[in-house]
Structure 1
Amino acid sequence: MISGMGPALVKIDAPPPAFRFVRPCAVAETQWRAKNNYVIQTHPNEGAVSMRDDLSASNSDLLQMTLQAAVQDQRTVDEQRRSTAPLLDGMSFHESIRHDDDRGSVTEIYDPRWGWHPDPLVFSYVFTIRSGMVKGWGLHKRHEDRYFVLSGELELVLYDPRPESSTCGKICKVYLSGSRPRLVNVPKFVWHADRNIGTSDVVVVNFPTIQYDHSNPDKYRLPIDTDLIPYSFGNAKGW
Structure 2
Amino acid sequence: MIEGVIYKQLKKFCDDRGTFMEIVRDDEEILTHFGQASASMTYPGVIKAFHYHKEQDDVWYFPYGNAQVVLYDLREESPTFQKTNVYYMGEENPSTLLIPKRVAHGYRVLGEKSAMIVYFTTRSYQPEEPDEYRIPYDDPQIAFQWETKFR
TM-score by length of 1: 0.58
* Greater fraction helix: 1
The residue number in structure 2 matching 1:149 is: 62
Aligned length: 148
Identical pairs, percent: 28
The residue number in structure 2 matching 1:104 is: 18
Which string of whole-angstrom CA distances, capped at 9 and with x for unpartnered residues, describes residues 80-108 of structure 1? xxxxxxx2011012332111112211122
Structure-1 separation of matches of 2:131 and 2:71: 17
> Which residues in structure 2 correspond to 1:85-234 (within 5 Å)?
87-113=1-27, 115-234=28-147
Structure-2 separation of matches of 1:234 and 1:224: 12
Structure-2 separation of matches of 1:110 and 1:203: 17
| SS of residue paired to 2:145 | coil
Structure 1 stretches lacking a partner, 5+ long: 1-86
Structure-2 separation of matches of 1:222 and 1:121: 26
Structure-1 separation of matches of 2:111 and 2:3: 28
> Which residues in structure 2 correspond to 1:20-35 (within 5 Å)?
none
Deviation at 1:150, TM superposition (A): 0.3
Deviation at 1:228, TM superposition (A): 2.6
RMSD over equivalenced CA pairs, Å: 1.7
Q: Which runs of 4+ in 1 moved over 4 A?
A: none
If asked which structure has higher relative contact order (CA below 8 Å, sep 6+), I would say: 2
| SS of residue paired to 1:167 | coil
Deviation at 1:126, TM superposition (A): 0.5
| SS of residue paired to 1:124 | strand
Larger of the two Rg values belongs to structure: 1
Structure-1 separation of matches of 2:18 and 2:31: 32
Structure 2 stretches lacking a partner, 5+ long: none
**Kept in 1: contact 2:31–2:57 (CA 8 A):** no
TM-score by length of 2: 0.89
Structure-1 separation of matches of 2:33 and 2:59: 11
Q: Which amino acid aligns with 2:105?
A: H
Q: Which amino acid aligns with 1:200?
A: K
**Kept in 2: contact 1:122–1:210 (CA 8 A):** yes
Structure-2 separation of matches of 1:183 and 1:116: 13
